[in-house]
Amino acid sequence: MFETLSDRLTSVFSSLRAKGRLSDADIDATCREIRIALLEADVALPVVRAFVAHVKERARGSEVSQALNPAQQVVKIVNDELIEILGGETRRLRLAKTPPTIIMLAGLQGAGKTTLAGKLARWLREQGHAPMLVAADLQRPNAVQQLAVVGERAEVAVFAPEPGNGVGDPIDVARRSIDHAKRQQHDVVIIDTAGRLGIDQELMRQAADIRDAVRPDEILFVVDAMIGQDAVTTAQAFMEGVGFDGVVLTKLDGDARGGAALSVRHITGKPIMFASTGEKLGDFDAFHPDRMASRILDMGDVLTLIEQAQKTFDEEQAKKMAGKLTSGDGFTLDDFLEQMAMVQKMGPIKNLLGMMPGMGQMRDQLNQIDDRDLDRIAAIIRSMTPGERAEPKIINGSRRARIARGSGVSVTEVSSLVTRFFDAQKMMKRMAGGLGIPGMPGSGGGRKAAKSAKKGKKGRRVSGDPRKAALGRKPSGGEGDIPAQKLPPGLGGKLPPGLELPPGFDPSKLKLPGQN
């Protein structure tokens, strides 16, 4: 969504990094490029003006002029202002003190309200709630049936007493749904209302009547992030006609320029609360302004990546796999297939890699990644026998030909997979051995050193020379010990029996042969 804006801002900041000091001309040129980048991203003009003015004011202040690295400080200022324009901090749902919490969805037809209702219900169910969907869109053809299908996929209840397709009173359905939710002990009610192709009085009156009938705790305005400046106009109309508490952005996975996300919050003053990033029910999460700003500036979104991994990976399974990886033993093609399936559950590989810092500079390579390659690898492994998966070394030429026929790929692809797996095994064994570097965790060299030290401790030879024997002993601080700084160079520790020095004697004053 923000690729164009991200590319422009990244190129602007790259030109600043070579400068040790920023002049007013540098700041003006940078702000001019930022203004162009925002306008190209379809951000509303009032928002662009306010944003650039704040950046310029702060860039000319002491926080940049006195900074050790002015370029990094300007990036920080832009990041801070992006976070502010996107809402400042994450806005959470307000839950009613006495259940059920009533959430009403409003927006134009085609914005994705019905699908988003299912995504929100699924997200709330995973948070431990018992949501219920209400089919109050009785105008659009098959809207009730669509909500029923979405509710079934999300594994949540659906209240749909009317068939829809122009039949039924949506205000009465919304009112009756609250009593039904109380009886069935649902703690969250999500009301899917009707939309129109454009703003009209009938749409606003119906939405306002539903609002007055159920008195929702949250009214969420659902907006298509791909419609550009029209998003701002629509948001202002709904704000005046119905009012809303938060914004939900849909279709953030599209290829539009994304200016709506940066404009709606600033124009309406209402926070962006949720974002839908795909067609699947799981492609939905709370909107974090700081993380979105970090993505725009190509600084990655590692926190979201970690959260997705935590939701996908089983803890016990992860510990078991970590043990295999660190030991370097027992990692088979079955384990590889299992790990690959877990990664695929997190979403498209391109999206996962895109959350890593600096990946914006490798966008062309990321666009060439095809998740179907993983499906081909899975087909190759599943075409192997259990014995071949556990011990790939037994896969000879005839076996590779059979596996290739079973998976529908060439023999070359099978050979390439087996070779890469062996390389991965070798790398894991090297990592398990600390790469041969003494002192590293799991280092083979470290284990050998410890073993030889233990062996030497058992049968250590002691020199017959008392001075050499004294050097091999560790100072114990007992009787007959002399501080190391008091001994002549080359001696240290405890003196051997019979060589105790008289009280008050300072051996550091002795002049040994070769000393001046």
**Residue ranges of the binding site for GTP:** 107-114, 192-196, 250-253
Phi and psi based region of residue 247 (left: phi greater than 0; alpha: psi -120 to 50; beta: remaining):
beta
Residues contributing to the annotated binding site: 107-114, 192-196, 250-253
Decide if 63 contacts 184 (C-beta within 8 A).
no
Q: How far apart are CA 296 and CA 168, in angstroms?
A: 45
> What's the CA gap between 202 and 178, in Å, rounded?
24
Which of 168, 163, 210, 167 shows the shortest CA–CA distance to 191? 210
The burial of 151, by beta-carbon neighbours within 10 Å (0-12 exposed, 13-18 middle, 19 or more buried), is given as buried
- Name the percent of the chain in helix, strand, coil, to the closest 5: 55, 10, 35
In the three-class reduction of DSSP (H, G, I as helix; E, B as strand; rest coil), residue 101 is classed as strand
Please say whether the beta carbons of 116 and 222 come within 8 A: yes
Tell me the sheet residues that pair with 188. Answer: 101, 131
CA atoms within 13 A on the CB side of 371: 13
206, 193 contact by CB (below 8 A) = yes
